[in-house]
Structure 1
Amino acid sequence: MRKIVLLAFSILSTATFAQEHFSGISTSRRVGLLNAKLNPAELVNMESKYEVNVFNFSANVANNKMTFGDLVGGNDNFEEMLFAGSEPLNFRGDIEILGPAFGYKVDKWAFGITSSAKIRVSFVDVNTTLGNAVTNGGIDNISEVYEVLSGENQRASGTSWGEIGLSIAREVYDSEEHRISAGATFKLLFPGTYANMGVSKFEGTIENNAGNVTLTGASASVNFAYSGSLAGDFSDSNNFTEFFAGGLNGFSTDIGINYQWKAIDSTKYRINAGLAIRNLGSMTFKDDNNESTNYELSIQGNQSLNLNQFEGAKSIQDVENILLTSGFLTMEQAGSDFKVKLPAVLSTYADVNIYDNWYATAYLQQRMNEDNDNDQIAVQNILSITPRFSTKYFEAFAPIANNEVSGFTAGIGFRLGGFFIGSGSILSAAIGDTNQADAYFGFRTSF
């Protein structure tokens, strides 16, 4: 089990990683396909007739336990820090790769085709006592007894998938001062691999006797679901790269509207604002090793479960097999193919021209589903403000955010022509502790 937890963190912390992907650059005055990813209605605001995305990369890790220095510095007390304190562990980590893409604008219409690959790893509301006992075999080699009660569904999950997006946008109103546009993106989903372990309504007693850790008097509802390469080994990072392995098996939609208050006698605007609902859809995982099973865990009387045996588990399937062998699981419901919902969010923003080439953007992201659901890919809520200096060929910006999981972050980014690079947390890391690490870069061209 330790390998599962460590792999989930290390796969995303081997480089500096924003929980808001492409924070700052996605609301740039240099409108392009990245803006349309945030709101498809932005396509009609492209300054050029054509845009080609070459390659964009964004990666992030946000949690409520470890600081930036711990994430990238390989702290020796890594495992203990994850499950320190009494607050449940929450972790959101993901990688997003935007591949070749093309945008085209003609008259009042604009069109786009995009490709992307995504990885998500999440720990949701994991009880620290239970997590520490299963992963580390207790803290000290002394006698310890803990009563654990957790009503929330505790989850450990990982998934990867690919997307092909088809976007269309149109001006619906245009005057000398104002413009309103609407757009939609229809995404074809290619599920790659998936694994989920959920434990809800957990109660029990954990005892550590000189390193021998046992669970007694326990009950819980348990879900195990997996498909593809993650079923066999959660500890191999290569298993997360099966982006298109499952073929076309899902659809999702982004819809949005955009408003511009134009600046008279200028290519600039006074306000550029938008509202979008993204990731409305789900994908179905189908593979020869597919399994989704709900169990009831019951350990009563003098019965006990040895928690030390989970330390060598490499996959969620290994954890399931250990529990099945123990005889403490009773099957409630089983199936093969299953659907997983995308992280649907409502996002809104406003970019305001303060003076000359100085702008400021306010951005809000609110998730629309509960992260505790076993069939849900997790995402966190975000509120950010980004001051920026922007010209046609150069841009500098500093996103400042309050993130649901990682708290306060501050970063910096730059754009030179079609190349950009940035981080949503590098400044907060430099001036003090922060629970997030992130970075992104990319290149696109227009003509």
Structure 2
Amino acid sequence: MKKTILTSLLVLGGLSAKAQSYVGYLTDNYSGVNGLIANPANITDSRFKTDINIAGASTFFSNDYYGLKLGDVVTSDFDFDTDGKKYPKDSNNFFGNADVLGPSFMFNLTPTSSLAIFTRGRVGYNVNKINGNTFESISNDFDENEDLLIDEDDVYLTANAWAEVGVTYARVLLNKDQHFLKGGISLKYLQGLGNAYASGKNVTIDYDADGTPLSGGQTTGSIESTGEVNYGHSDNIDDNFEDFEVEIVDGATGFGADLGVVYEWRPDYASYASNDGSNTFKHLNKYKLKFALSISDIGSINYKNGTQNTYDITGTVNEDDFENEDNLEDLLNNLYTQTGSSSSEKFALPTALHFNVDYSLNKSFYLNLNTDFSLRSNTKVNSNRIPTMVSFTPRYESKWFSFYMPVSLIQGSGAQWGAGFRAGPLYIGSGSVMSLLLSDNSKAADVYAGLKIPVYHGKPKDRDGDGIVNRKDDCPDEFGPAENNGCPWPDTDGDEVVDKDDKCPEEAGEVMNNGCPLVDSDGDDVLDEDDKCPNEPGAAENEGCPWPDTDNDGVLDKNDECPNEMGTVANKGCPEAPEVTEEVQKQLNDYAKTILFNSGKASIKSESTAVLVDIISILKEYPDAKFTVEGHTDSIGSKATNQKLSESRAMSVRDFLIKNGIDPSRLTAVGFGEDKPIASNMYKDGRAQNRRVEINLVK
């Protein structure tokens, strides 16, 4: 009874293979052909000429039900049933995998592209969402005389083994200054080795220890169940889920693919480029910061000869009938109702998205952050998936030795601490070994190891130190530039200007004249090659040509303020301006004295506008002359008032003249009040003459 019920529970539990491989090791730039597991772009522009993996294996197990300390396990009296810690709950999970990288190798096709061929074997299984309380009751001192209720609701299960043969191609997509980008793709032929899966919908099992009466007053247990069970498997599994044999299954094939890109930020890119423009530093990591993005395991396997059956398990059977069935398939067929039958579902690979950031502290120490996200649903029938996982891995890295200690957070298993190393051809490690040794409640365990034949890039040789490697240097023992294939340029005439730059290679000349002798035909100290008038002496400022005098007034155009109008030297090449005569001065003042103001104010009467326009016309005839606008008053009123009024009236006239086109720099305004009368203030006529404005030439 115990065995068969437990088997039923395992079948009805959900399974989706959640697995990680080579934790820590795949962050290493010297992981070689193994690196294609994480990202197919890793194989190009690598530190390898070629890398041959002989064999490598990784195995992984994790759960959220059972925890232990590795040190306790090695003691002779450790009991898994009683000494470990158990955490039963309504939905517990168990998952694991094995990943074997068989003979595989990578090599460079060109300096910017690489190819790899690999073989790989994989197994994945998982029990998901099993009721931990039920599992504990069954596995730990189960009493068949006690009732038992199992409530599993909707559950899923899948287990699969398969082999891969693949080819990876990667190439450099961009290499410009500090930006470097490469991409890669892996194409995989898949061979199925065995597959079984099941799912349950609204599954419950109620075991009543004495619920069925027998003859003679005896009783036996009754099993009442509800729900629907879907069960499928490949044809190499006969009648019992437990009879799982890994073997090549006829008609079980498929195709898969991995895609990836890697971007590197190389702020010191100039120090990694040789003088011939090529990048020959294949032996060195050149990035400060690296970002990698990949999608793995796109594809599926079709088990063409596989079968899938659906059963309605609603009903009640007695314990004796239940125990008499030999295997799970007989139990389902004989005791429950089959409601459907078809070919098995395709097995879906555990498609996942991976993002990786690697930071270089220096040439030997690195910090890595890696995240894995499943792209498969945990409710899809016959589908594998990986757990969400975040890992932080500090590492020391060199050509022949690397050491890393990953710290990971795994969905359902919590934090894990591991360690690993690579020493030449050997790599070994675990993503959880430190947790197993130090924690008394570790819920995960993994280990990996492998052997390979690495062939690394060496430092390029450059005997003459001219930045051109010997194999590309036409003169490997003599320093020379890249433009001349590593050979020095000749200097035939010995003038220290090499022939490639010498415009007169057979005649010694001056460095400043591109190897040619200096020539100045007109003797004006401007060399002919720079002289626009080589046969006519001129000024260096005028490119060796004489300065022109367009108006022939004896003032060169460069100094002539009126180059197209004959003038005088004294007036900077411009004609002399007309002089203001006494007659003109008198006319101005005759006009100015007629300007009328509003009584006691500085505002000009409108009838004076015509006079002011005449004054403006006269001023414009003498554009270089400057004038003062003077205001005067009679002696009526206080002296201070008269002074202020005279200044305001002078300023009003000046403002009018400026507003109507006279340059402000030509005019000043001043008031004299009653200080300069031109007639007696005793009489009305005299006072009228004293109230005036004058416009006088500034001499």
TM tier, shorter chain?
0.7 to 0.9
2:56 match: 56
Distance 1:214 1:258 in 2: 61
Q: Secondary structure at the match of 1:41?
A: helix
Out of 78, 84, 88, which is 1:85 matched to? 88
Distance 1:43 1:400 in 2: 25
Mapped pair 1:330 → 2:334: no
Q: Secondary structure at the match of 1:229?
A: coil
- Which residues in structure 2 correspond to 1:7-156 (within 5 Å)? 19-69=19-69, 76-78=79-81, 85-105=88-108, 106-131=110-135, 136=139, 139-140=142-143, 143-146=146-149, 148-155=150-157
Out of 252, 255, 263, which is 2:259 matched to? 255
Q: Secondary structure at the match of 2:236?
A: helix
Distance 1:159 1:260 in 2: 37
- Which residues in structure 2 correspond to 1:198-213 (within 5 Å)? 198-208=199-209
C-alpha offsets along residues 156-183 of structure 1, whole Å, 9 cap, x if unaligned? x322111011111111101232211111
Out of 285, 291, 294, which is 2:307 matched to? 291
1:400 match: 407
Change (3 A) 1:309 1:204: closer
Amino acid at match of 2:173: V
Amino acid at match of 1:26: L
- Which residues in structure 2 correspond to 1:311-326 (within 5 Å)? 318-326=327-335
| Counterpart contact for 1:191–1:249, Cα < 8 Å | yes
Which structure has more RCO (C-alpha within 8 Å, separation ≥ 6)? 1
Deviation at 1:356, TM superposition (A): 4.3
Amino acid at match of 1:306: E
How much is the aligned-residue C-alpha RMSD, in angstroms? 3.2
Deviation at 1:47, TM superposition (A): 1.5
Distance 2:230 2:363 in 1: 56
Deviation at 1:215, TM superposition (A): 3.0
Mapped pair 1:430 → 2:432: no
Amino acid at match of 1:48: F
Mapped pair 1:442 → 2:450: yes
Mapped pair 1:306 → 2:319: yes
* Aligned residues with identical type, % of pairs: 21
Deviation at 1:49, TM superposition (A): 2.5
Distance 1:356 1:444 in 2: 24
Change (3 A) 1:190 1:83: farther
Distance 2:47 2:352 in 1: 27
Q: Secondary structure at the match of 1:110?
A: strand
- Which residues in structure 2 correspond to 1:197-276 (within 5 Å)? 197-208=198-209, 214-216=222-224, 218-232=225-239, 234-235=241-242, 239-242=244-247, 244-246=248-250, 249-262=253-266, 264=268, 265=271, 267-268=284-285, 269-276=287-294
Change (3 A) 1:206 1:370: farther
Deviation at 1:370, TM superposition (A): 1.8
C-alpha offsets along residues 411-440 of structure 1, whole Å, 9 cap, x if unaligned? 100111131100111100111121111100
Deviation at 1:347, TM superposition (A): 0.8
Q: Is the deviation greater in 83-92 or in 414-423?
A: 83-92
| Counterpart contact for 2:156–2:381, Cα < 8 Å | no
- Structure number with greater Rg is 2
1:180 match: 181
Distance 1:20 1:137 in 2: 30
2:423 match: 416
| Counterpart contact for 1:50–1:103, Cα < 8 Å | yes
Deviation at 1:286, TM superposition (A): 3.2
| Counterpart contact for 1:122–1:378, Cα < 8 Å | no
Deviation at 1:295, TM superposition (A): 2.1
TM-score, normalisation: structure 2: 0.55
2:280 match: none
| Counterpart contact for 2:57–2:100, Cα < 8 Å | yes
Q: Unpaired segments of 5 or more residues in structure 1?
A: 10-17
2:171 match: 170
Distance 2:383 2:48 in 1: 38
Deviation at 1:92, TM superposition (A): 1.2
Q: Secondary structure at the match of 1:335?
A: strand
| Counterpart contact for 1:92–1:378, Cα < 8 Å | no
Alignment size in residue pairs: 419
Distance 2:4 2:365 in 1: 48
Deviation at 1:87, TM superposition (A): 3.6
Deviation at 1:48, TM superposition (A): 2.0
Q: Unpaired segments of 5 or more residues in structure 2?
A: 11-17, 212-218, 273-283, 456-699
Change (3 A) 1:28 1:193: same
C-alpha offsets along residues 66-100 of structure 1, whole Å, 9 cap, x if unaligned? 22548966964549989862242311111111111
| Counterpart contact for 1:96–1:119, Cα < 8 Å | yes
| Counterpart contact for 2:252–2:304, Cα < 8 Å | no
1:277 match: 295
Deviation at 1:308, TM superposition (A): 9.5
| Counterpart contact for 2:325–2:331, Cα < 8 Å | no
Task: Give the structure with the larger strand fraction.
Answer: 1
C-alpha offsets along residues 86-122 of structure 1, whole Å, 9 cap, x if unaligned? 2423111111111111212222211111101111121
| Counterpart contact for 2:29–2:46, Cα < 8 Å | no
Change (3 A) 1:319 1:163: same
Distance 1:76 1:373 in 2: 37
Distance 2:187 2:104 in 1: 14
Q: Secondary structure at the match of 1:321?
A: helix
Q: Secondary structure at the match of 2:313?
A: strand
1:15 match: none
Deviation at 1:344, TM superposition (A): 0.7
Q: Secondary structure at the match of 1:338?
A: coil
